[in-house]
Chains A and B, each alone.
Chain A
Amino acid sequence: NAGVMQNPRHLVRRRGQEARLRCSPMKGHSHVYWYRQLPEEGLKFMVYLQKENIIDESGMPKERFSAEFPKEGPSILRIQQVVRGDSAAYFCASSPETHSEKLFFGSGTQLSVL
């Protein structure tokens, strides 16, 4: 009964490098959400995806950030040219259907930018 799987758990990047965060939703779930938690803050919504479609990206920074959820494979959150301010915990969540208030979260990826 695998839950939402995120990898890597920890990712260290130098300024200017690219970060790729992966998320495999729970089995049977076709909706994926990415959230970011900055230190001492609550989780902030970034993007909601279904297979091959971005449904809501209202929380995504306008530049350097992109997300995809291909037909096959995990969802990817990509951050280009990382800066120190990108250091945060990035959580992926999945749900089995729309209008589902119960999101199942992964353990997160802690991104550290040196």
Chain B
Amino acid sequence: DQQVKQNSPSLSVQEGRISILNCDYTNSMFDYFLWYKKYPAEGPTFLISISSIKDKNEDGRFTVFLNKSAKHLSLHIVPSQPGDSAVYFCAASEGNYGGSQGNLIFGKGTKLSVKP
């Protein structure tokens, strides 16, 4: 039973436009959410995160939105650049502030292709 779901295996976007990657989760105990970016033959790289007490976090071209009632989060990249082409993983953790640490639950990833 997947607790973190990324239902779109791939997404293709034109350079300069907005990329929106979606993620749904089922476990209401998750209190911290992260996005990782992964290039081929490399390990995942932390991109941006959000705690459950917020509904938005922004870092440059990257913004993560959290809708707790819908158990949904999304990553917006604007403007998209060819170098953003990678696999993006959504991850969640439970009890980050006092509970287990480092046990991240990952989605299966969405492969983003940004075309010049």
Q: Do A and B bind each other?
A: yes
The closest CB in chain A to the CB of B108 belongs to A42
Contacts A42-B108, A43-B89 given; does A91 touch B43 at CB 8 Å: yes
> Is A22 interfacial (CB 8 A cutoff)?
no
> Is B69 interfacial (CB 8 A cutoff)?
no
> Is B116 interfacial (CB 8 A cutoff)?
no
- Summarize B's interface: helix, strand, loop or mixed: loop
B43, B46, B49: the one contacting A107 at CB < 8 Å is: B43
Which residues of A are found within 8 Å of B91, using beta-carbon distances? 43
Bin the interface of chain B by size: 20 to 34
Contacts A91-B44, A107-B42 given; does A100 touch B107 at CB 8 Å: no
Q: Are B104 and A45 interface neighbours, CB within 8 A?
A: yes
Which residues of B are found within 8 Å of A69, using beta-carbon distances? none
The closest CB in chain A to the CB of B105 belongs to A45
> Is A93 interfacial (CB 8 A cutoff)?
yes
CB distance from A55 to the nearest CB of B (A): 8
- Bound-state CA distance A100–B97 (Å) is 9
Q: Which of A74-114 contact B (CB under 8 A)?
A: 91, 93, 95, 98-108
Which residues of B are found within 8 Å of A35, using beta-carbon distances? 104, 106
Give me the interface of A with B, judged by CB distance under 8 Å: 4, 6, 31, 33, 35, 40-45, 48, 55-56, 58-59, 91, 93, 95, 98-108
